[in-house]
Amino acid sequence: MPNIEGSAKQQNKEKTWLWVKRHPNGITRSELEPLTGIQRRTLDNYLNDLEYEGKIYKDGTLWLPLNFEGTRLRAFDLAPEEAYTLYLATRLLVKQHDKRNEPAETALMKLAHILTADAGVGNEIAQAAAELASRQPDSGYQAIFRTLVRGYIYRKAVRLIYRPLNGKPFDTVFRTYLMEPSAIGFSTYAIGHSSKPNDLRSYKMERIQSAELTRDSYAVPSDFPGLEILRNAWSIISREETVRVVLRFSPQVRERVLETQWHPSQSYEDDPNKPGWLRWWVDVADTLDMLPWVRGWGRDVEVVGPEKLREAAYDTAHDLARLYSVSEATENISTLLIRCWGKTSKNERVFHPALFHMIDVANIAQQLLSSSASPRWRQVLGRALNADENSLFEWLPWLVALHDIGKLSRAIASYEKRGWRTEKR
């Protein structure tokens, strides 16, 4: 027996959609009520359903149609191995993202149904979909993901509020040219034109606080290179200029490194300075998103260059040594003295060694007490110390230098247990 109630609901929802389609410049809910004869609460439900299905969208109080028919996929036949290839791609997306993604979940279930019915396989695909469904839902993320995808499919600009890392949120109108997943941080990035600052930008999905479609249509510029824009990127960050990263891998991981084509520009050779080691290099636009990968190799990799990346690896090694209380007894006394801080800055990596600071103040004191300076200092100090004012410059500067002698110790250098070189006064 047919479900009359369900059929009537579908007809009313279809009628609502057709009335919205007849108003390409938008129509309000109150204007739809007399046209459809549907009560307000029920009409709201239909409109929300149609929006979820990607048929309409809302701009302020207006509901507007989307080119739903023009973006529907035509039916196509897949061989079992082709369908399984799509599963592997979707599975990789699932593994590299920590949030529930309903479109990916639905795609997996459809593939599972096809393969189970037609090829007798596919149970693991359904399990992957169930795994994705069990993740903690994030309604905000889901809505933003759908809005960005629809903006790209329907070529509609999206109004965003974006919060940069450690920055203040700002609003911008964004035209999506490309969406790219990244293994770093389990993230997806939207790449396109941002009205602020009127240039190409890559925005991390998790940092978008809100997104809504606008009526502003756009076309992807003919000179936009597509995936070629990421040619020089290690993951996402890209530009025309590149920097060469040179790494030295130990014999223990040499074969593992050579198993994979990590980047199109990579090349390698036997290391001329360390027998058995591999010298490996790539040309990338930025090393920021490469650093976590380098750290992942632990003690089996040495950064040869560039210097900035080598310093970052050096700092990581010392941070780990402090974290695990690794003894630094093998360092000579000169190295230890240079690493004791005298003056620090807001950047914990930038400091002035205590030994240098003591020498600085000694030299300044010597100049102030020399015969070329004002005699007033010498006279006042000579009387106070009951000493010959003309001989002060020979010995007093060294006593002045000793004012920070206490900083030449591990106890002061590791004050508040934050480690050598990083403390602030």
Per the domain annotation, does 423 fall within a domain? no
Predicted confidence at residue 166, as pLDDT, reads 84
Q: Please check whether residues 147 and 211 belong to one and the same domain.
A: yes
> Picking from 16-25, 115-124, 300-309, 370-379, which range would have the lowest pLDDT averaged per residue?
115-124
Domain end position, chosen among 88, 118, 133: 133
Q: Please check whether residues 294 and 316 belong to one and the same domain.
A: yes
Q: Are 151 and 213 in contact (CB under 8 A)?
A: yes
Model pTM score: 0.61
pLDDT digits (tens, 9 = 90+) for 193-222: 999 889 999 999 889 999 999 989 999 999
pLDDT digits (tens, 9 = 90+) for 236-269: 877 778 999 999 999 999 999 999 999 989 999 9
26: Cα within 13 Å, side-chain hemisphere: 11
pLDDT bucket at 321, cuts 50 / 70 / 90: confident
Query: What CATH number is associated with residue 182?
Result: 2.30.30
Q: Quickly tell me which residue has 């609502």 as its tokens.
A: 16
Predicted confidence at residue 76, as pLDDT, reads 66
Domain end position, chosen among 201, 230, 259: 230
Predicted confidence at residue 376, as pLDDT, reads 84
Q: Please check whether residues 253 and 183 belong to one and the same domain.
A: no
Domain end position, chosen among 265, 292, 323: 323
pLDDT bucket at 411, cuts 50 / 70 / 90: low
Report how far residue 143's alpha carbon sits from residue 138's, in angstroms, rounded to the nearest whole number. 9
Per the domain annotation, does 237 fall within a domain? no
Q: Please check whether residues 205 and 261 belong to one and the same domain.
A: no
Q: Which domain, by its residues, includes 210?
A: 139-230
pLDDT bucket at 418, cuts 50 / 70 / 90: very low
Kindly give, in sequence order, each residue whose CB lies less than 8 Å from that of residue 208, ignoring residues fewer than 6 positions away: 144, 148, 160, 161, 162, 163, 190
Q: Please check whether residues 86 and 66 belong to one and the same domain.
A: no
Q: Please check whether residues 225 and 144 belong to one and the same domain.
A: yes
Report how far residue 95's alpha carbon sits from residue 91's, in angstroms, rounded to the nearest whole number. 6
> Picking from 30-44, 116-130, 245-259, 359-373, which range would have the lowest pLDDT averaged per residue?
116-130
Q: Please check whether residues 279 and 206 belong to one and the same domain.
A: no
Most confidently predicted of 156-170, 313-327, 409-423: 156-170
Per the domain annotation, does 271 fall within a domain? yes
Per the domain annotation, does 235 fall within a domain? no
Kindly give, in sequence order, each residue whose CB lies less than 8 Å from that of residue 212, ignoring residues fewer than 6 positions away: 57, 58, 59, 147, 158, 159
Q: Please check whether residues 158 and 209 belong to one and the same domain.
A: yes
Report how far residue 103's alpha carbon sits from residue 106's, in angstroms, rounded to the nearest whole number. 5
Q: How many domains in the chain? A: 5
Q: Please check whether residues 318 and 301 belong to one and the same domain.
A: yes
Q: Are 362 and 400 in contact (CB under 8 A)?
A: yes
Report how far residue 308's alpha carbon sits from residue 235's, in angstroms, rounded to the nearest whole number. 19
Q: Are 248 and 301 in contact (CB under 8 A)?
A: yes
Q: Please check whether residues 123 and 159 belong to one and the same domain.
A: no
pLDDT bucket at 5, cuts 50 / 70 / 90: low
Q: Please check whether residues 146 and 217 belong to one and the same domain.
A: yes
Predicted confidence at residue 14, as pLDDT, reads 86
